[in-house]
Amino acid sequence: MPLIPKSFAPSNKTVKKLVNGTISSSQVRVAVLEDREAIRCILKNVFVEPLNCELEYLSCYENMKEIKGKPDIIFLSAQLVPYGEIIRHRHEGVKSIVFGESFTPTSVLWWRKRGADGLMDLQDGPETWRDCLTEVLQGRSAATPSAEGAILNSDPEVGLQALTRREMEVAQYLVLERSAEQAAKTFGTSVGTIKNQRKSVYRKLGIVRATQLPWVMGNGIPHVTSNGERMHKLHAEAPTGPYLSPEGD
């Protein structure tokens, strides 16, 4: 992944001041896309107060256009970034870190492809989060240990990054346990077409049954109902092997 132009990267002195918690709020502005109060509180305790950063909260992706001024870095919840949006702001000199509860080998490259400078797994400790922030501010791609492990175990040909736009839309719909018939009606196509797309999704994600779908999507891809309610499969079935389960229908 290309590095941020050097003109956008802060000096090593600035980064050291940030890590040591001595940087002034006027030097680093942070925007956080997150609607869960508990996660907001965690990020505030880890980054904002110790590092004395200026913070602005956002509850939905569309509100990013309303950010006052230009932040130095944006933390984006993996659960709130809609599919199809490229989270790359490098032409503006803005860095981005995507965070979530679990990055999987089948989801992690998808975020990199979409432009995330950093990947922060909330399973890892606060010190690793700060390390990730420092690397990103220095203009490098970074990932916390759990996310890095997912990258090392990933296959460029197996994962969300291999899906077409329509296949992703179908996968997001099916993960809500909707039937092929319901999907066909929603997307205005035939049941046969949906089944073929479902077969292609399974093949590209290296799975064999519907119960594995939420797991390979990382449990962090947003699943939004027609009335805007956010839903998640937090306890999905993982494949028994690196990608494939020997049992399936």
Evaluate whether 138 touches 177 at the Cβ level (below 8 Å). Answer: no
Residue 35 located in a structural domain: yes
Of residues 161 and 243, which shows the higher confidence score?
Answer: 161
Which residue type sits at 57? Y
**Domain boundary at 102, 127, 152, which?**
152
What predicted TM-score, i.e. pTM, was given to this entire model?
0.75
Of residues 172 and 76, which shows the higher confidence score?
Answer: 76
Residue 249 located in a structural domain: no
Residue 21 located in a structural domain: yes
What is the percent of the chain with per-residue pLDDT over 90, rounded to a whole number? 33
Residue 58 located in a structural domain: yes
Q: Does residue 56 sit in the same domain as residue 136?
A: yes
Tokens of 99: 């965070």
Each residue's pLDDT tens digit, 124-154: 989 999 899 989 988 899 999 999 999 999 9
Instruction: Label residue 39 exposed, middle or buried (CB < 10 Å: 0-12, 13-18, 19+).
Output: middle
- For residue 11, the number of C-alpha atoms closer than 13 Å in the C-beta half-sphere is 5
Q: d(Cα 180, Cα 35) in Å, to the nearest integer?
A: 31
Tokens of 80: 């709130």
Q: d(Cα 216, Cα 60) in Å, to the nearest integer?
A: 24
Number of domains observed in the structure of the chain = 2
Task: Quote the pLDDT of residue 148.
Answer: 96
Task: Quote the pLDDT of residue 218.
Answer: 67
CA 126 to each of CA 29, 120, 131: distance values in angstroms, whole numbers, following the listed order: 19, 10, 9
Q: CA angle at residue 223 from 200 to 40, to 5 degrees?
A: 135
Task: Quote the pLDDT of residue 88.
Answer: 59
Residue 29 has pLDDT above 80, yes or no: yes
- CATH number for the domain spanning 217: value is 1.10.10.10
- CATH number for the domain spanning 131: value is 3.40.50.2300
Domain limits for position 67: 6-152
Q: Does residue 204 sit in the same domain as residue 83?
A: no
Evaluate whether 81 touches 60 at the Cβ level (below 8 Å). Answer: no
Q: Does residue 30 sit in the same domain as residue 115?
A: yes
What is the percent of the chain with per-residue pLDDT over 70, rounded to a whole number? 74
Q: Does residue 98 sit in the same domain as residue 213?
A: no
Tokens of 79: 């659960």
Average pLDDT, the chain: 77
Residue 1 located in a structural domain: no
Residue 18 has pLDDT above 90, yes or no: no
Residue 240 has pLDDT above 60, yes or no: no
Residue 69 has pLDDT above 70, yes or no: yes
Q: Does residue 23 sit in the same domain as residue 59?
A: yes
Residue 244 located in a structural domain: no
Q: Does residue 106 sit in the same domain as residue 208?
A: no
Residue 176 located in a structural domain: yes
Q: d(Cα 72, Cα 51) in Å, to the nearest integer?
A: 14
Q: d(Cα 165, Cα 172) in Å, to the nearest integer?
A: 11
Residue 80 has pLDDT above 90, yes or no: no
> What is the band of 4 on the pLDDT scale with cuts at 50, 70, 90?
very low
Q: Does residue 123 sit in the same domain as residue 223?
A: no
What is the arithmetic mean of pLDDT over 38-64? 83
Of residues 183 and 15, which shows the higher confidence score?
Answer: 183
Q: Does residue 138 sit in the same domain as residue 167?
A: no
Which residue type sits at 243? Y
**Domain boundary at 133, 152, 171, which?**
152
The Cβ of residue 120 has, within 10 Å, a number of other Cβ atoms equal to 28
End-to-end CA separation in angstroms for the chain:
38
Q: Does residue 81 sit in the same domain as residue 183?
A: no
Q: d(Cα 207, Cα 71) in Å, to the nearest integer?
A: 40
Task: Quote the pLDDT of residue 91.
Answer: 53
Residue 198 located in a structural domain: yes
Task: Quote the pLDDT of residue 199.
Answer: 95
Torsion from C-alpha of 171, 176, 180, 185, nearest 10 degrees: -100
